[in-house]
Structure 1
Amino acid sequence: MRRAGPVWSDGRMDTLPDLSESVRARLAEEWNAWLCTVRPDGSAHVTPVWFVYEDGTWWVGTDASAVKVRNLRGEPRVSLALENGTHPVVAEGTASLTGDFPPPVVAAFAAKYDWDVTAPTRPGVGRVLLRVPVRRWLLAGTAQ
C-alpha cells in the first residue's frame, strides 16, 4: 500500500510507502540518526543528530551556526539514516530551515529526549529546526 506524498511545485505527486509497524517504532524510539549534507566543495558531511519523525517529515534541532546549516544554505538535499545497518532505514529529502518551533514538534522532542529543542546550547547562538519531508525511502535495501 502506498500513500500520497508531497505535491511538487511542478504539480506532480510523489508517492511514499506505508511504513511497517517496526519501522514506525524505530523512528519513534531510536535516539540517533545520521544526517548527511553536502559541503560547498561537494564532499559529504555526516553527523549524528537527535530527531523526531511525524507524518512523513523528519525534524532536527540544531545551532543556527552549525556546519550542517551552512551546508543546507548551499545544497538543501539531504539523507538521514537510522544507526542499524542490518535493517536499514534511510530517507532522502530536501531540508528547509526555520526559526519557528511548532508546539507539537517541541513537545515531541521533550517527550523523546527530555530536552528543550528551542534552548540555546551556546551563548549568543540561536536555534533552528531542519524540516525534512521524505522524498524517497531506502528500506531493507530497496529504494521506494
Structure 2
Amino acid sequence: MPVTQRRGRKIMMTAEEVDAFLAAERTCRVATVSADGTPHVSPLWFAWDGTALWLYSLTRSKRWADLRRDGRVAVVVDAGHAYGELRGVELTGTVEVVGEVPRTGEPHPGLAPMERQFARKYFDLDELPHDGRHAWLRLAPESVRSWDFRKTAAR
C-alpha cells in the first residue's frame, strides 16, 4: 500500500492499523468531480481487501456518472467525536469497473471474495443479494494518508 505522507508522521497509522481500521469501519465518503467541475461528495459502504477499496455503487447515481467520465477519486473513512479521538484514512487514485454493469450475479472469480466479505459485513449473509442496480468499482490507491489523534494523547 503506497504511503505518501510526510507531515503528521507522529499521528500516522501503521499499515496494520490502516488495515484494521478499514476492515472495521462501515461508511466512506467518496469525492468526485462533476461535469461542470464542482466537487461532489457522497457516503457509501465499502470493503477493503488489504490493497484496494471496493465500492458498491448505484449505477444510476451522480457518483457513478462522475466516475465513468473521470475515474479520479478521493475517499475518506473517519471516526471519532472529540478532537483527541479523531482518526481516519484518505485514499486517492483512479477507480476501475469490475464485473458487469449493473451487477446481476454472473459468476466472476475476481468478485467472489469481495462479495462474500461485503455480504457478511453489511447483511450478515454468506452471499450478496444482487438487485441489478449496483456495480463494483475498485480503487487501488495511488496515495494513502492516515491520522490517529489518539496518539497525541499518549505522549
| Smaller-chain TM-score bracket | 0.7 to 0.9
Report the AA paired with residue 138 of structure 2.
R
Runs of 4+ in 1 over 4 A off after TM superposition: 115-118
| Structure with the bigger percentage of strand | 1
Unaligned runs of 5+ in 2: 4-12, 81-85, 101-107, 149-155
Inter-partner Cα distance in structure 1 for 2:58 and 2:114? 16
Q: Corresponding residue for 2:116?
A: 107
Inter-partner Cα distance in structure 2 for 1:34 and 1:25? 18
Q: Corresponding residue for 1:29?
A: 24
SS at match of 1:139: strand
| Structure with the bigger percentage of helix | 2
Determine which structure has more spread, i.e. the larger CA radius of gyration.
2
Q: Give the alignment's Cα RMSD to 1 decimal.
A: 2.2
In the superposition, the TM-score normalised over structure 1's length comes to 0.75
Q: Give the structure, 1 or 2, with the largest relative contact order (CA under 8 Å, sep 6 or more).
A: 2
Q: Corresponding residue for 2:77?
A: 82
Query: Alignment partner for residue 137 of structure 1, among 137, 141, 144?
Result: 144
Matches within 5 A, 1:11-26: 16-17=2-3, 19-26=14-21
Q: Corresponding residue for 1:11?
A: none
Matches within 5 A, 1:16-95: 16-17=2-3, 19-84=14-79, 86-95=86-95
Query: Alignment partner for residue 130 of structure 2, among 93, 109, 119?
Result: 119
**Number of corresponding residues:** 123
